[in-house]
Structure 1
């Protein structure tokens, strides 16, 4: 009888200890997922789904939905962080100051698949809070109107050019902060001869502050310069912020955020503001 009581007591004590350890691990696990969600250079496979609405342009509003899988590949002491961006958009006509439409084409509007972007960043493996990466970025002229093969209308959805250039990113994550900067410059190489050449710079500082239980404040201000435009109509500079929430599902996580930005500097025919909503599905490293 005494032996049975000892066994039962030991079993209950072990179960309670496991439950307490699991409860203690959950905040740390959520913190790890947040670091990975906010730092694309951490090699975690994820699929962000983004929706952006650009409002206030004189020709009308532009809506863009993006599927942006991040696929890390291990290369020994380095990681190759690959990100593909499929852009589905609806535009009412020529709207400037938008990254996906560097040289808008005249027309009365169209809906469909825009240009596709692919970026590979080579980043050294590290266990520290500072990461960096560099590599090429490519833009493919995949613009296709939904339900119609009319090329003239489809041209409104993209640049009509294959473009390439360098990209880089640096990220540091001290305490509850994630602070980073990413940039890329693309130049058109070949494509439709009737379309304008592309020379576009993106400068994107970003910051996140984690406030507990998966909640965080965020800002991600993508500044755009189209060098082929006149100096008075070259820059788009947004200011704004948002709030996010990560849901820890143990083996995977779902990251969500809602943001709003106002363009304090913008070209003619550009939108005044934009609103973004993101749902990011995160899985452990696969490669």
Structure 2
């Protein structure tokens, strides 16, 4: 596979692990709070495994492991650019007769958010920027074959252990394989979580996608529990969850499970 397919994640990892990087002590309470904020001033590397069941006429299974490095780029004393990368590693079974399934790398989603470091006077945290879908898939079945881009934004608030808000982006294709379908996709993720004094987080969100080409929503509800711990001196958050699809477009799974580990690198 051409090395260019891996450039986005390699660049992200190079910044996540800069030469001479030294960890600083930060309270677990503060880290747990930052983990619920997608534009926090915190370097992290989540590795998220998802398994979905009931896909297509064959009730097939699908496994997606997302490698999601996140890092802030400081613009000045008050603002950051937050880079968020999602590189999926996909394996799915035969969805319908005549389909043999596929395994490999999917398309990479790269987002950049301009975000103030501190909340606004009324407590709101926000970020806005651009999202780019990069056609890194090594097989036709695993990607769009298109370069796509569009706006992205996030708005949230944190108080008394609660975090609530929403993340949104919209993608339109502008280049790529001429024979592939045009990308017209909107992503909406409202979220709500509560973190206890023992750094356990209970969360619910909906990672919903609207496909403008077929005029259909795919709406999964995720219910998750996370625990922040230290392994040696390294803070790590572990997460498990259950997902239920509440809409049923063509070939949408019925339900799924999630397990994730997020490795933290406090600045």
> Shorter chain as normaliser: what TM range?
0.7 to 0.9
User: Residue 108 of structure 1: which of 96, 100, 106 is its match?
Assistant: 100
User: Cα gap change, 1:183/1:127 in structure 2, threshold over 3 Å: closer, same or farther?
Assistant: closer
- The residue aligned with 1:101 is none
- Distance of 2:144 and 2:94 partners within structure 1: 13
Alpha-carbon distance between aligned partners in 2 of 1:250 and 1:170, rounded to the nearest angstrom = 34
The correspondence for 2:38, drawn from 40, 49, 59, is: 40
**Equivalent position of 1:270 in the other structure:** 252
Deviation at 1:220, TM superposition (A): 2.1
| Matching residue of 1:123 | 115
Q: What SS does the aligned partner of 2:195 have?
A: strand
Query: Which stretch of structure 1 is more off in the superposition, 239-248 or 45-54?
Result: 239-248
Structure number with higher helix proportion: 1
Residue 246 of structure 2 aligns to a residue in which SS? strand
Match of 1:23 in 2: none
Higher strand share: 2
TM-score, normalised with respect to structure 2: 0.83
Q: Specify the alignment match of 1:283 in structure 2.
A: 265
Residue of 136, 153, 158 corresponding to 1:173: 158
| C-alpha separation in 2, matches of 1:126 and 1:132 | 9
Q: Which secondary structure does the structure 2 equivalent of 1:276 belong to?
A: strand
SS in 2 for 1:265: coil
Report the TM-score, using the length of structure 1 for normalisation. 0.78
1:259/1:275 contact within 8 Å kept? yes
Query: 1:181–1:203: 8 Å Cα contact kept in structure 2?
Result: yes
**Once the 2 structures are TM-superposed, how far is the Cα of residue 83 of structure 1 from its aligned partner?**
1.0
Secondary structure of the structure 1 residue equivalent to 2:55: coil
Aligned with 2:196: secondary structure?
A: strand
1:246 is the counterpart of 2:228: yes
Q: How many pairs were matched up?
A: 237
Contact 2:119 2:125 in 1 (8 A): no
Structure 1 runs (4+) deviating above 6 angstroms are none
